[in-house]
Structures are given as structure tokens and as C-alpha cells.
Amino acid sequence: MTRRELAAVLGSVTSLATVRAQDAPANQPEDLNAAAKEQLHKNSETLSKFDLPMSTEPAFLFKA
Amino acid sequence: MATEFTDDIFFATIGELNARLKSKDFSAVELVRAFARRLEQLGPRYNALALPLTDTAIRRAADVDKELKRERYRGPLQGIPFGAKDLLSYAGHPTTWGARPYAAQVFDSSATVIDKLEKTGAVLVGKLAMVELAGGGGYRSAAASMFGPGLNPWDRTRWSGGSSSGSGSAVAAGLVPFAIGSETSGSILTPAAFCGITGLRPTYGLVSRHGAMALSWTMDKLGPMCRSAEDCGLVLAVIAGGDTNDPGSAHKSFYYVPQYYRASKDLRIGYAPVDFAEWAQPATRPAFEQALAAIRETGAKLIETKLPDLPYGALTSTIISAEGASVFEPLIKSGKVDELADPKQIAGLKAGLEISANDYLKAMRIRAIVQQKIRRLFADVDVLLAPSRFGPAPKISEPLDKHANDATPKDLGMSALIPAGNLAGLPALSLPCGFADGLPVAIQLVGPAFSENQLLALGKDFQTRTDWHRKRPTAG
């Protein structure tokens, strides 16, 4: 890694602190964790309402 | 006499640059040096630059010049500078994935797409900024990146889009002739639309992801972000193809031959009027009406259609969250996830670990239905057409989910074409089609799997009738 590349990376990390300080949303982490779990719960409920034939296999293939 | 590098060169297409290299208007070293310096100088203005590679690039360009001197031609990308999203590894150099916990990460081999581009003589001049971890946990701030918010060259108070933020703004500002981006669900189409450039999301499996950060193994794709549909075809022809190092590879080849595909006048294009009349924000509607008129002028038959009513949002969210949480489990469990810039993303990644196997499998089974029903849709139409995004780039100062609870039209039309197309693994092409409030807007064309040549043929026809892709922001 050249000094220029290292400086670019470190410079970016330094700017992160500024960005976080200026733009961090007001929500508390606890609220956001609860909201994220709530969203997954809603997704689960939406999917559970879908009438799925037993014969339907998942949309991925395992290749040996 | 040395060539003066003006905007006519910085905003030229690959074909135009290639012709000038061959006619010796300038050497590859001169071209690469000019772009690399411009990227170093102006990239930070848009938070677009992750890593300058100027010295390495000039050395590579010197090798290209030696080849050109011997008249050894490798193809249209020979000597053309490019940028790569910082989720692609480049041997011996930092690859941060836009995320602070990975700031010092260095791989000892390069991504297959970069290897392929270098073998054809293209020259990597810099790694480009991105939303941290491609936004897999969900994010609500444009600043969700260790590089800061991606700033739009058309208006720096606006977002460049994500997650391929730097790729979008670097091409739009004439800092690179083309860039490589990635899309899991919207990450090429969104920055391409917001920045007024042409972006191609290839069919899942057509382009190797070896050496790219994984977010969702079953949905990740890499693709070109360029000045025109023609350029996207030229780049795709180089980066596509089978790769035993990518378990998702379709092992298919791609030759860019749009001339052998159906003329626009013979195409049936499916669209939903509600997308353009109600879903599109009012300021964007005149541009979209003009785009529809330009499509009609091609002689293509426009047919009203809509997507099957399926839970696209819940499916993409469940699949990306589950696969992403598995990929980043070590990051999450080590606590280093808290070093990410966006609190919503941190919460989303943590919650992803709690998705049950049943929910993931159910989502993947419903996904099979999505693929089946969309395949049937293509029995009646050849291409689907919709706005790439319903509004122009949002302000960076506003939460990205600000409009999430606004009233929406009852008719879904094809409003979910981005998640639907990604779930089905289909190719899409985003084409600039005008402006709203001084910001670019775009349409997307989606086709059946491996229909890239047909989409590019139609896109090329559209761009011979319009000049939106030729518009330039005032960079500098």
C-alpha cells in the first residue's frame, strides 16, 4: 500500500466522525432495534398469509 | 503538440475515446493521467473516491501504449480508464466495502471482473465509494458510508443514490468513462437514474462475482455504469462469462451483437399507465411523458400490463436480511458492527440474525412463484418499461425513508419492478429520460433472463432519438 493510498483510507475514516456527528438520526439504538425486529415480524406475517402449494421448492439450486 | 483535455474528452463515450487513441490524438498514458488526476481532484468533491490508483494506472497505461505501438489491438476498452466500486478486491490494495470495520482490509487477488477488464487493456484509475456493506441492513441516511454521503454532480445538496454511489457520481461528473457497480436490489439502477447515466443490471449469474463482497448470494449482481447503452454493451461483453470461482455463475457467454436482435418496431413493450400518471412525482411526469412518446416513436407496441400481486417487499427484505446477517455474522457478534455509520443499518443487521429458517425458506419458495409468474408475463410482452425511480434524487439532509408512509396509489402497476426484477434475477437497463427540478430522471427496461442484447438494442435506439444521456452537469 502506498502512502497516498493509506492517507486516502485514513482520511475517509476521519471524515466518518464528522459525518456521524452532523447527520446521525435522532432515533435511539433501542428504538431502532425494536423497529428492525418489528419489520421482520411484519415480513413474516405477510409471507405466512401466502398460500403456497406443498410442491413448491425454494428458488435456489445446490450444485455438487 | 500536446492535446488539451477538455470536457469533450472527459464526457466522451468509450467508442469515441477508442477512436482517438487509435488515431494517436493522445496516448493511453496521457488519457489515463488526465482522468486519474481529475478523479483525484474532483472525486472528493462528491465523496466519490475511495482510493486513487494513479501511479499504478499510469504504469499500466504505458504498457498499453507499447501494445498500441506494435498495433496489437485487444478491443474497444484498450487504454480506457475506469473506476470500480470499492466492494471489488484489487490485489494488494485496500478494499473497504465502504465500512469502517474493514478500512484496512487488503486482499491478495483481484476480482474476476477487474482481471478481465485489465486483460483487455482497460486501466483502473481508482476505487469508488459506496454505501457501507452495500446497505444490506437497510439505511435511512445518505451518510451511511465511511466516505460520507454520495453527493450528486447535478446538485451537491442531493444524494447520488446507493449503494453504488461513487460509481454513479464519478461517471456523471466525467471523472471516469465508465465504472463497475453492483446491485442486490436497486444499487445500479438507483444511482444511474439519480446521476443521469446509463446503468445495466445483468441477469443473475452472467457476470462473475468472485472477489466481490457478498451481501446476498442469491441476489448479488455486478454490472456496468456508463454514458450510453452502447458503452454498457461493450463493457458487459468483457466482464460477462462463466467462472468456476463463482458458485452462482450461469456459465453463459455474452457477445454484444444488438444488430442481430429484433428491431424496436417489432417489440411489444408492457407498461402500467399508473406508474407514469400517479406513482411518478408530479414534477417528473412531463419527462416521463416525453420518454413514453420517444418509445412510441420507435414503432414498438405499448401494451398495458402490471406485475402479479405478490409480496415483493417482504420477500427481498427477508432474503437479503437473512443472507446478509449470515455473511456478516462475525462482524455482528464481535460488536464491530457498531462502528458502522448508519444506526438503522446496525439494527437491521443485528435483527437479521433472528430470521427463522422457516421464514427464509418460505421466502425462497414464494420467490419461485415470482419467477414463474413473471416468466408468464413475458409470454405477452417482450420488455417491461417503468420509471427507474418515481422521483429525482432526494436531499442528503433528509431521511431516505421520509416518504415511506405517504399515501400511495391503490393500483400497484409496476411500482415494485426493482425488487421483482431482482428476485427473478432479470436484466434491467436504466436510461436517462429528462429532468425534474434540474435533476435527472430515468426509465428502466426489464427483459427475460439473458435478454441483455435486446434491452441494449432498444436502449441504443432510444438514445439515437434523445440526447438526455449526452447532458453534462457543471463539474469542477
CATH number at residue B168: 3.90.1300.10
Which of B27, B110, B163, B185 is flagged as catalytic?
A: B163
Residue B239 sits in the same domain as residue B351:
no
What is the Cα B379 distance to its own chain's centre? 27
Residue B81 sits in the same domain as residue B151:
yes
Q: Report ipTM for this prediction.
A: 0.87
Give the residue-averaged pLDDT of A9-36.
58
Nearest CA to B435 among B297, B283, B294? B283
Residue B95 sits in the same domain as residue B171:
yes
> Any idea which residue has 490494495 for its cell?
B93
> Any idea which residue has 464481535 for its cell?
B334
Contact of B50 with chain A, judged by CB distance below 8 Å, is answered with yes
Helix or strand holding residue B436 (H, E): strand B428-436
At B454, the amino acid letter reads: Q
**3-state secondary structure (DSSP) of residue B223:** strand
Name the residue range of residue B285's domain.
268-305+373-454
Residue of B nearest to A8 (CA): B51
Residue B166 sits in the same domain as residue B294:
no
- Check: CB of residue B141 under 8 Å from CB of residue B183: no
**What's the number of domains chain B is made of?**
3
Percent of chain B predicted with pLDDT > 90? 96
B163 among known catalytic residues: yes
Q: List the Cα angle B469/B470/B472 in 5-degree steps.
A: 105
Residue B324 sits in the same domain as residue B429:
no
Stronger pLDDT, B2 or B471, i.e. the higher one: B471
Q: Per-residue confidence at B476, pLDDT binned at 50, 70, 90?
A: low
**What's the Rg (C-alpha) of chain A?**
22
Q: Which residues of B touch A18 (CB under 8 A)?
A: 148
Q: Which residues of A touch B351 (CB under 8 A)?
A: 33, 36-37, 39-40
Nearest CA to B444 among B282, B275, B285? B275
pLDDT greater than 60 at residue B346? yes
Which residues are within 8 A (CB) of A6 and not within 5 positions of it... i.e. 6 or more apart? none
* B324 within a domain of the structure (yes/no): yes
Residue B428 sits in the same domain as residue B446:
yes
Residue B246 sits in the same domain as residue B356:
no
Cell of A55: 410442491
- Check: CB of residue B114 under 8 Å from CB of residue B212: no
* B134 within a domain of the structure (yes/no): yes
* B476 within a domain of the structure (yes/no): no
CA gap B458, B384 in Å, rounded = 12
Q: Write the residue in A8, A35, A59 that is nearest to B52 by C-beta.
A: A8
Nearest CA to B145 among B155, B158, B159, B157? B159
Contact of B15 with chain A, judged by CB distance below 8 Å, is answered with no
pLDDT greater than 90 at residue B402? no
For chain B, first and last CA: distance in Å?
25
B85 among known catalytic residues: yes
Q: Where would I find the H helices in B196-284? A: 229-239, 273-274
Average per-residue pLDDT for chain B? 96
Domain boundary among B226, B258, B290: B258
- Check: CB of residue B428 under 8 Å from CB of residue B446: yes
Residue B405 sits in the same domain as residue B322:
no
Nearest CA to B327 among B349, B345, B346, B348? B349
Task: Choose from A1, A4, A6, A9 for mutation: most chain B CBs within 10 A.
Answer: A9
* B470 within a domain of the structure (yes/no): no
At B249, the amino acid letter reads: S
* B295 within a domain of the structure (yes/no): yes
Residue B92 sits in the same domain as residue B173:
yes
CA gap B232, B228 in Å, rounded = 6
What is the Cα B63 distance to its own chain's centre? 29
Q: What is the pLDDT of residues B113-172, one digit of tens each?
A: 999 999 999 999 999 999 999 999 999 999 999 999 999 999 999 999 999 999 999 999
Residue B356: CB atoms within 10 Å = 12
Residue B133 sits in the same domain as residue B188:
yes
Please give the sequence-ordered ranges of beta strands (E in DSSP) within B30-122, or none if there are none.
49-52, 81-85
* B1 within a domain of the structure (yes/no): no
CA distances, B266 to each of B214, B258, B453 (Å):
39, 14, 15
This prediction's pTM: 0.94
pLDDT greater than 80 at residue A20? no
Q: What is the pLDDT of residues B451-462, one digit of tens each?
A: 999 999 999 999
CA gap B310, B377 in Å, rounded = 14
pLDDT greater than 50 at residue A14? no
CA distance A30 to chain B (A): 9
Residue B337 sits in the same domain as residue B218:
no
- Give, to the nearest 10 degrees, the angle between helix B312-327 and helix A29-48: 120
Residue B294 sits in the same domain as residue B322:
no
